[in-house]
């Protein structure tokens, strides 16, 4: 396994190991732009929360992998990712940082740091562990 950049909850166990360039999606317009670009399948999608509802069109149109910075596998997005069988790592934290998401106690700097560090990097998702999903730097 290569360098593990981030870890979080593995929403479901799968041997799928999607690889792509991480793209941070912060608003509905970002999803529209990605779908219009025709490059949805080239990206691992990074969103802020498990309650991010605007990701649904991307999932239904074939998103290959998702990383969230908050939320639980039992959330709406977790349920959707299992239905679409889209590998998903939730509440990911950087392995290089001590910052962790805590419900109601996490400020924007936590999310900004993760987005800054991961956006644009080519990675693959390792979702073979029953509990931990890993974001691995691609060779």
Partner 1 sequence: MTTTLPTPGHYDVLNAVVLKQMAVGAAVSEATGVGLDDVDAILAELAGAGLVFMAGDSALPTDGSAPALAEVAALRYAALRSDPAVLAEVDRFEDTNTQMLATMTRWQTVEVGGRQVPNDHTDPAYDEKVVARIDRLVQRLGPLLDALAAHDPRFALYRQRFDAALDAVDSGRREFVSSPTHDSVHTVWFEFHEDLLRALGRARTE
Q: Are 91 and 68 in contact (CB under 8 A)?
A: yes
Q: Are 81 and 88 in contact (CB under 8 A)?
A: yes
Token readout for 113 is: 């740091």
CA dihedral 121, 129, 13, 85 (to 10 degrees): 0
Among 42, 49, 99, 137, binds partner 1 (CB under 8 A): 49
- 69 to 88: interface string for partner 1, x by CB under 8 A: -xxxxxxx-xxx-xxx----
Among 2, 37, 39, 51, binds partner 1 (CB under 8 A): 51
Q: Which residues contact partner 1 by CB under 8 A? A: 12-13, 27-29, 31-32, 35-36, 49-51, 53-54, 56-57, 59-60, 70-76, 78-80, 82-84, 103-104, 130
């Amino acid at each position: 396994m290569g360098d593990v950049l981030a870890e979080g909850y593995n929403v479901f166990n799968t041997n799928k190991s999607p690889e792509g360039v991480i793209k941070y999606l912060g608003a509905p317009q970002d999803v529209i732009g990605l779908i219009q670009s025709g490059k949805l399948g080239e990206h691992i999608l990074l969103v802020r929360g498990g309650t991010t509802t605007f990701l649904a069109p991307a999932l239904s149109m074939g998103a290959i992998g998702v990383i969230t910075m908050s939320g639980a596998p039992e959330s709406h997005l977790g349920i959707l990712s299992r239905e679409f069988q889209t590998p998903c790592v939730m509440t990911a934290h950087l392995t290089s940082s001590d910052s962790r998401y805590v419900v109601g106690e996490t400020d924007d700097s936590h999310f900004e740091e993760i987005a800054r560090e991961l956006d644009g990097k080519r990675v693959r998702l390792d979702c073979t562990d029953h509990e931990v999903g890993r974001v691995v730097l691609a060779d």
